[in-house]
Amino acid sequence: MSYIKYKIIHFFTLGCLFFSLNSCTEDIETLRENPNQPANAALSNILPSIIKNTANITVEQSFLVGNNAAQLTAKSHVLEVDVYSWRGFSTWNSIYNVLRDVNVLEQQAIFEENKAFEAVAVIWRCYLFSILTDMYGDIPYSEALQGQSAANFRPKYDTQEEIYTGEKGLLKELGRANDILNGNRPNIDGDILFDNDLNKWQRFCNSLRLRLLVRISKQKNVTVELTDLLTNTNQLMQSNTDNAVLKYQGAVANNNPIRQLKSGDFDAVRIGENLVRTFNLTSDPRLGVYARQTDGTINDLNNAVYLGWQNGNCDTDGNRLGLIYYDYPTHPTSEKKADGIFMTYSEVKFLQAEIVQRGLVLTGSSAETLYNEGIEAALDYYDVDERTFGWNSRADFINSANIKYDQNLNTIWKQKWISLYFSGLEGYIEVRRWLDYHNGDWTQLSFLSAPCGNQNGDQLPARFVYPASEGTLNSDQFNIATSRMGGNTQNTKMWLIK
């Protein structure tokens, strides 16, 4: 073989080898892709996990903090919440963890140009961020969750005012979600909250807007926004069928977290004395749902005895929580089981009643009518039998002397307080707002009192303190935020109540 012929053959051999290796590299990359395991999860698979995980957080926060801080229930041991010796709570990490999944849902929906899922993700993002800012004040918001996309591991803390009212704030974002759902949109699937009904998502969106607008009404004139919502009230929840509640299925993978407790842990929370006293004064039939009778009368409904546990460090007796929350050994059980509650129709009616009573908006409905509708919705939700507490009908109960509307704002708030049982941290957030309205004077709220033995000078804590890890991992932004707010204590007042 001549030398020239050898070089030509060698050149073509190397060329073929090069192209073969290049092609082989592409084949290897292709082989690495698992056709049975898509790179992006389906939107219908992400949403159920987000809803269930949020519901679990809501129930746990109700049981451990929210109900007790609102005096709907009381701790029988481990009394830090009741005696106002507040330290770190798990709320921060728990909610930010779910927000990461919401961010994935939103970005994937945008990538797939699925406007319906995008709107749902925005609504849920706003719901979760509203809890965080209501509990902590200034928080990472606009730069949060950018660790992967922008390598931003030290996000700034936005002011609470900006979080609520800014161009990318909660209220504007909920308005954007509402606009999306007003337009042409595909359907969704995998929705374990509203069974893929986008009209219910839209009503939840606007009801959440109503909640947040009332919450900032001390700091901002919100008449225009409230008028828009109340002029066209079909934008809001219309009945209990619109309730944003997760109905747990009872299986291990989808069970109310309280039901999985040991009986001793369940015993750590009892029905609150102030709530039992309020129920007894009005013969309220919800008492038989919220609490179970004393052990001595547990099987005798006609002669049931209910005792409440006083919040603070001075009580030794009080009934356990109702049958729908736990199957207690040797006790009767209830076929109905407790839901995970995000927002209910009754809350919407009480919000409307407050708006009218305060004169924030003039509407065709009276505060009394809206108040009555709120009570009826709350009774219907728990499917109570008023006859077991001596009433002939719902109307008899609502029109009774101790329930009938008396043009007093506190009367609306008392019924709303009762209805927020196991609604996450909402009970505490509202009690804080009402006390702020009355300049911290407990005597103005006849259904509440400063807990005995509290360690905070009878002052309801104003917020949760930031996790200690924030001062280490995001120290510069943490220091800016705490300096701006006036400290990082449980009594540091956030913008909402300044």
Residues in the chain: 498
User: What is the three-class DSSP state of 485?
Assistant: helix
Q: Are 112 and 40 in contact (CB under 8 A)?
A: no
Residue 34 lies in a domain: no
411 shares its domain with 482: no
216 shares its domain with 287: no
341 shares its domain with 386: yes
196 shares its domain with 301: no
Residue 52 lies in a domain: no
| Chain Cα centroid distance, residue 432 | 16
How far CA 180 is from CA of 48, 184, 212, in Å, comes to 21, 8, 20
Residue 95 lies in a domain: yes
> How many separate domains does the chain show?
2
433 shares its domain with 319: yes
Q: How far apart are CA 193 and CA 51, in angstroms?
A: 7
How far CA 175 is from CA of 94, 143, 181, 342, 458, in Å, comes to 26, 21, 10, 19, 39
**Domain of 295?**
242-457
210 shares its domain with 96: yes
210 shares its domain with 309: no
Beta-carbon contacts of residue 414 (< 8 Å; ≥ 6 apart)? 278, 445, 446, 447
Query: Full-prediction pTM beyond 0.85?
Result: yes
H/E/C letters for each residue in 95-131? HHHHHHHHHHHHHHHHHCCCHHHHHHHHHHHHHHHHH
> pLDDT of the chain along its 498 residues, tens only?
444 444 434 444 444 333 333 433 344 444 444 454 445 689 999 999 999 999 999 999 999 999 999 999 999 989 999 999 998 899 999 999 999 999 999 999 999 999 999 999 999 999 999 999 999 999 999 999 987 777 788 999 999 999 999 999 999 999 999 999 998 788 899 999 999 999 999 999 999 999 999 999 999 999 999 999 999 889 999 999 999 999 998 877 789 999 999 999 999 999 999 999 999 999 999 999 999 999 999 988 778 999 999 999 888 889 999 999 999 999 999 999 999 999 999 999 999 999 999 999 987 789 999 999 999 999 999 999 898 899 999 999 999 999 999 999 999 999 999 999 999 999 999 999 999 999 999 999 999 999 999 999 999 999 999 999 999 999 999 999 999 999 999 999 999 999
What pLDDT was estimated at residue 365?
87
Q: How far apart are CA 497 and CA 447, in angstroms?
A: 21
487 shares its domain with 376: no
Q: Are 124 and 54 in contact (CB under 8 A)?
A: yes
Q: Which of 342, 378, 288, 311 is nearest to 123 (CA)?
A: 342
195 shares its domain with 328: no
The amino acid that residue 37 corresponds to is Q
400 shares its domain with 469: no
Could you count the other beta carbons within 10 Å of the beta carbon of residue 400?
Answer: 13
Q: How far apart are CA 362 and CA 341, in angstroms?
A: 30
Beta-carbon contacts of residue 292 (< 8 Å; ≥ 6 apart)? 298, 319, 320, 321, 322, 323, 328, 331
What pLDDT was estimated at residue 40?
65
Residue 82 lies in a domain: no
Residue 77 lies in a domain: no
Residue 285 lies in a domain: yes
Q: Which CATH number goes with the domain that contains 126?
A: 1.25.40.390
477 shares its domain with 336: no
Residue 497 lies in a domain: yes
DSSP letter assigned to residue 457: T
Beta-carbon contacts of residue 468 (< 8 Å; ≥ 6 apart)? 88
172 shares its domain with 103: yes
Residue 433 lies in a domain: yes
- How far apart are the two ends of the chain, measured CA to CA in Å? 95
